Chain A
Amino acid sequence: MSIFSKTYEFTPSIKPVKEPVIILGIESTSHTFGVGVVEYSNNSVKFLANISSQYKPQSGGIHPRESFLHHVNNAPRVLQKALETAKINPSEIDAVAVSVGPGLGPCLRVGASLARFIASYYGKPVAPVNHAVAHIEIGKLVSGFKDPVIVYVSGGNTMILVQKNKKYRVIGETLDIPLGNLLDTFAREIGIAPPYVVEGKHAVDICAEWSSEYIPLPYTVKGCDLSFSGLLTAALRLIGNNRDRENLGKICRSLRETAFNMLVEVTERTLMLTSKKSILLVGGVASNKELRWKFEVVAEHYGAEFYGTPPEVAGDNGLMIAYSGLLHFLHGKLVEPSRVFTRQRYRLDEEEYPWLP
């Protein structure tokens, strides 16, 4: 069922002065330029639009300048389409939400400039949203989980978090490269990407099907923290010049298995440590079938619930920014358009979020 065909129950602790509340959200932190629109009324949230355009490199990884140019060229079209899909006029918006970080500097500035422009032209406030917080909040909304162990895995982040005293607490995170980056870099180095994702499947997952064998690789867990760089180096070294399908398949399979096991192990430990009753998987890697299966097994073992965000809202998108903007709006966490600053290294555990338990 499409995420658009339903409304999500949402009871804010502070009621808005007028209803409905319509928020426009802009996402431009990395390879995706996206615009989303959400509407709140009568204790429920509706998704009105979620339009995005992705920068796909011809070769290599994300070039910040190329991604920036892609965003600049596509921003007007995406924005217009989002407004058309949502059937709203910009003047009906209550606030403009924009993802101000963490992300790539040049890319972030596209979204921020657009937000400043719309907000000042139509006289609206801006909600400066943390990209990571947005991933989590949309996951909480669609899953209905109030206080889960949160696993946030994407190309730029790998974290295990919980909510406490109105803050996000990072229990464990990667000490070097994120999980998504590990998969992307490996795929690129062995020549099976770009394209990194084909029909919703990552190149490493496709490659993993070429073999049914496994080979042990370095497994690095420190307390609740993870380290993937040694795994990457070892896997690349094993490939060497042997690029036949069987060998590539075997190592892809083992790399994926090892990396996912590490993540699941620390999540399992966090679940025990905190006695939470649910696991929420968010971020770009959340749509990975193999990873979801592993979490389902763990959740079942502990009698906990598991929810992995669906692909439409798992990867970067404007909708999650719009929804987080709604939270900002309801709690008055807004700024003047002239006070919108991007922050490339904006951590999510720095500040309090008034809507958290």
Chain B
Amino acid sequence: MATMNTQLVMLSRGAEAEIYLVDFFGVKAVLKKRVSKKYRAPLFDELFIKTRTRTEARVLSELYLSGLKVPGVLFVDEDKGVLILEYIEGERATEVFEKSEFEKLISISREIGRFASVMHSLRIYHGDFTLANIIIADDNVYVIDFGLAGYSDDIEEYAIDLHLMARSIHASKPEYAEKLVNAMLKEYKLHYKGDAEEVISRMKEIRVRGRYVDRELRKAIMRERYID
């Protein structure tokens, strides 16, 4: 890759991957490198990095080709665990939610609902579907970080996505949350290919049986399996 700028600027370091801002043949791009873990047996480590990278690339390409707004995949090296993705220049939805007025948030919520419905119709779940993973660029809604995404026919996975998003909206805009979530679900029902009511009722079930252990720690869902 002679023309790729070798100057790497690290954007963030997660538990699983390091994110760099790179210049990929003149295009501003994001390089996501999954890091090897010494605690895993070498075979498992390779397999882990390979399958996660592959799934993420596959999910992203499929969504991209379906016309959804996700970063395009520019380069994949599954053996090295490297993905180079289009850089989405915009604002995090968490920040947009803080300052925008109701009308704009309603339209964003609808767009999120539509995104989820199309994604789930393709049997894809996101796994960490929260406002922190949504970027608003020129009024377009982009979804990023498909590191925990996958394919499944289990509506539980879809319901978890909706549940996570609803919780995230409640946490950042409690005063409008109810209306925003309803707008999202209404749009979801319009476009989801299967039985949307089933997914939504499962989502409500998750809300009752499980709860966030902590709002700042969005990733955690706890299920109430010990009911007295």
Q: Please report A residues at the B interface, Cβ cutoff 8 Å.
A: 102, 164, 169-173, 175, 214, 216, 219, 221-225, 257-258, 261, 264-265, 268-274, 293-295, 297-298, 301, 343, 345-347, 349
From the candidates A268, A271, A343, name the one contacting B228 in the complex (CB within 8 A). A343
Which of B34-42, B77-85, B168-176 is near enough to bind chain A?
Answer: B34-42
Interface residues of chain B: helix, strand, loop or mixed (majority):
loop
Contact B14 A171 (CB under 8 A): no
The answer to whether A223 and B40 touch across the interface, beta carbons within 8 angstroms, is: no
Measured CB to CB, the closest approach of chain A to B177, in angstroms, equals 21
Q: When the two chains form the complex, which single residue of B15, B48, B128 contacts A223, counting CB atoms closer than 8 Å?
A: B128
CB-defined interface of B130-173 with A at 8 Å, one 1/0 digit per residue?
Answer: 00000000000000000010000000000010000000000000
Cα–Cα distance between A223 and B219 once the two chains are bound (Å): 5
Question: Are the C-beta atoms of B221 and A223 separated by less than 8 Å?
Answer: yes
B residues whose Cβ falls under 8 Å from a Cβ of A: 14-16, 37-41, 43-44, 47-48, 127-128, 148, 160, 213-214, 217, 219-223, 225-228
A169 touching B213, Cβ below 8 Å: yes
| A349 cross-chain contacts in B, Cβ below 8 A | 213, 222
- A172/B220 contact (C-beta < 8 A), A102-B226, A261-B44, A268-B15 known: yes
Closest CB of chain A to B163's CB: distance in Å?
11
Contacts of A219 in B (CB 8 A): 48
Tell whether, in the assembled complex, residue B220 and residue A223 are in contact, meaning their CB atoms are under 8 Å apart.
yes
Question: Do the beta carbons of B15 and A272 come within 8 Å of each other?
Answer: yes
B211 CB to closest chain A CB (Å) equals: 10
Which residues of A have CB within 8 Å of B38?
297, 301
Kindly list the 7 A-B residue pairs having the minimum CB-CB distance in the complex, ordered from nearest: A345-B226, A294-B39, A297-B39, A269-B15, A223-B219, A272-B15, A171-B220
Chain A residues lying within 8 Å of B228, measured Cβ to Cβ, are 343, 345
Q: Within the assembled complex, what's the spacing in Å between the Cα atoms of A35 and B177?
A: 52
B226 touches A347 (CB 8 A): yes
Q: Inside 8 A of B220's CB, which chain A residues have their CB?
A: 170-172, 223-225
Q: How far is the CA of A302 from the CA of B16 in the complex (A)?
A: 13
A222 near B127: Cβ-Cβ < 8 Å: yes
**CB distance A272 to B14 under 8 Å?**
yes
7 more CB-based (< 8 A) A-B contacts, given A171-B219, A269-B16, A297-B38: A169-B213, A171-B220, A214-B44, A223-B219, A223-B221, A225-B222, A257-B41
Q: Are A170 and B226 CB-contacts (below 8 A) given A223-B221, A297-B38? A: no
B39 A261 Cβ-Cβ under 8 A: yes
Decide: A269 and B44 in contact? CB cutoff 8 A.
no
A270 CB contacts on chain B under 8 angstroms: 217
